[in-house]
Amino acid sequence: MSQTTAGVPETTTPTQVPGGLRTGGRLPRWTSWAVFAGALAAVALLDLAVALNTALYVLFTAVLGTVALFGLSRAAEGRRTALDRLVTCVVASAFGLAMVPLVSLIYEVVSRGIARLDGEFFTFSLVGVVGEGGGAYHAIFGTLIITGLTALISVPIGLLTAIYLVEYGAGRLKRAITFLVDVMTGIPSIVAGLFAYALFSIFFGPGVRLGIAGSVALSVLMVPVVVRSAEEVLKLVPNELREAAYALGVPKWRTIVKVVLPTAVGGLGTGITLAVARVVGETAPLLVTVGITNATNLNPFDGRMATLPVYAFYQLTQPGVPPEFAIDRAWTAALLLIVLVMVLNVVARLISRLFAPTTGR
Amino acid sequence: MAKRIDISDLDIFYGDFRAVADVTVSIEPRSVTALIGPSGCGKSTFLRSINRMHEVLPGARVEGKVVMDGQDLYGADVDPVDVRRQIGMVFQRPNPFPTMSIYDNVAAGIRLNARRMAKTDLDGLVERSLQAANLWREVRDRLNRPASGLSGGQQQRLCIARAIAVEPDVLLMDEPASALDPISTLAIEDLMTELKERFTIVIVTHNMQQAARVSEQTGFFNLSSAGQPGRLVEFDSTEKIFSNPEQKATEDYISGRFG
pLDDT at A349: 86
pLDDT the model gives residue B106: 93
Nearest residue to A286 (alpha-carbon basis) of A187, A166, A150, A169: A150
In angstroms, the CA A265 to CA A356 distance is 8
Q: Quick one: closest CA in B to A243, which residue?
A: B53
Cis bond upstream, residue B96 (ω within 30): no
pLDDT band at B96 (very low <50, low <70, confident <90, very high): very high
Instruction: Tell if the CB–CB gap between B159 and A244 is shorter than 8 Å.
Output: yes
pLDDT number for residue A361: 41
Sign of the alpha-carbon dihedral angle for B113, B117, B120, B124: negative
Q: Among the listed ranges A1-5, B102-106, B228-232, which one has the minimum average pLDDT value?
A: A1-5
Determine the 3-state secondary structure of A133 from DSSP: coil
Which distant-in-sequence residues (6+ apart) come within 8 Å of B153 by Cβ? B180, B181, B183, B184, B185, B187, B188
Of the candidates A200, A262, A217, the one whose C-alpha atom is nearest the C-alpha of residue A237 is: A262
Pairwise CB contact (< 8 Å): B109 & A240: no
pLDDT at A53: 84
Helix, strand, or coil (residue A238): coil
User: In chain A, which residues fall in CATH 1.10.3720.10?
Assistant: 122-354
pLDDT at A13 exceeding the cut of 50: no
Q: Is A359 within 8 Å of B148 when comparing Cβ atoms? A: yes
pLDDT of A22 reads 57
Tens digit of pLDDT for each residue in B172-183?
999 888 877 888
pLDDT of residue A4: 43
What's the pLDDT tens digit per position in B16-25?
Answer: 899 998 899 9
Confidence of residue A357 (pLDDT cuts 50, 70, 90): low
Give the whole-angstrom CA distance, residue B110 versus residue B200.
Answer: 21
* Cβ <8 Å between A247 and B163: yes
Residues of B in contact with A241 (CB under 8 A): 95, 97-98
Rounded Cα distance between B76 and B89, Å, is: 23
pLDDT level of residue A24 (50, 70, 90 thresholds): low
Rounded mean pLDDT of B226-247? 89
* Mean pLDDT value across residues B105-112: 90
Residue A9 pLDDT level (bands cut at 50, 70, 90): very low
| Residue among A289, A179, A174, A155 at smallest CA distance from A230 | A155
**Are B169 and B137 in contact, with CB atoms under 8 Å apart?**
no
Model confidence band, residue B258 (pLDDT cutoffs 50, 70, 90): low
Q: Which residue of A has its CA nearest to B59?
A: A170
DSSP, collapsed to helix, strand or coil, labels residue A204 as helix
Distance from CA of B227 to the nearest CA of A (A): 26
B114 in Cβ contact with B161 (< 8 Å) = no
Q: Report pLDDT digits (tens) over A332-353.
A: 999 999 999 999 999 988 888 8
Query: Are the C-beta atoms of residues A336 and A308 closer than 8 Å to each other?
Result: yes
In the prediction, which pLDDT does A177 show? Answer: 94
> Per-residue pLDDT averaged across B217-231, rounded?
87
CATH 3.40.50.1820 fits domain A122-354: no
Helices A137-163 and A324-354 pack at an angle, to 10 degrees, of 30
Share of residues in chain A with pLDDT > 70 (%): 92
Say how far apart CA A286 and CA B170 lie, in whole Å.
61
User: Domains, chain B, ranges and CATH?
Assistant: 5-94+168-254 (3.40.50.300)
Residue B193: other Cβ atoms inside 10 A: 12
The confidence score (pLDDT) of residue A3 equals 45
Helix (H) or strand (E) segment spanning residue B18: strand B17-27
In the predicted structure, residue A175 carries a pLDDT above the cut 50:
yes
Q: What pLDDT, in 10s, does the model give residues A138-159?
A: 999 999 999 999 999 999 999 9
Specify burial of residue A319 (Cβ count, 10 A radius: 0-12, 13-18, 19+).
middle
Q: Is the pLDDT of residue A129 over 70?
A: yes
Give pLDDT, residue B57. 87
Between residues A233 and A14, which one has the greater pLDDT? Answer: A233
* Chain B residues within an 8 Å CB radius of A250: 81, 108-109, 112-113
Dihedral of alpha carbons A10, A14, A18, A21, sign: negative
**Which of B41-50, B180-189, B213-222 shows the lowest per-residue confidence on average (mean pLDDT)?**
B180-189
- Give the closest of B58, B145, B162 to A248, CB-based: B162
Which residue would you say has higher pLDDT here, A163 or A127?
A: A163
Instruction: Out of B95, B108, B148, name the one closest to residue A240 (CB).
Output: B95
Residue A253, pLDDT above cutoff 70: yes
For residues B207 and A62, give the distance between their C-alpha atoms in angstroms, rounded to a whole number: 64
Mean pLDDT of A59-72: 90
Average pLDDT, whole number, for chain A?
87
Average pLDDT over residues A245-270: 91
Task: Specify whether the CB–CB gap between B235 and B37 falls below 8 A.
Answer: no
Alpha helices by DSSP H, listed for chain A, are 31-49, 54-76, 79-113, 119-123, 137-163, 171-185, 189-204, 211-236, 239-247, 252-255, 261-280, 284-289, 308-317, 324-354
Segment B131-164, tens digit of pLDDT: 888 889 999 899 999 888 898 889 999 999 999 8
Spatial contact of B160 and B189, defined as CB atoms under 8 Å apart? no
> What global pTM score does this model have?
0.81
Pick from B142, B253, B53: nearest CA to A250: B53
pLDDT, residue A15, reads: 44
Query: What pLDDT, on the 0 to 100 scale, is given for residue A20?
Result: 62
The SS3 call for residue A325 is helix
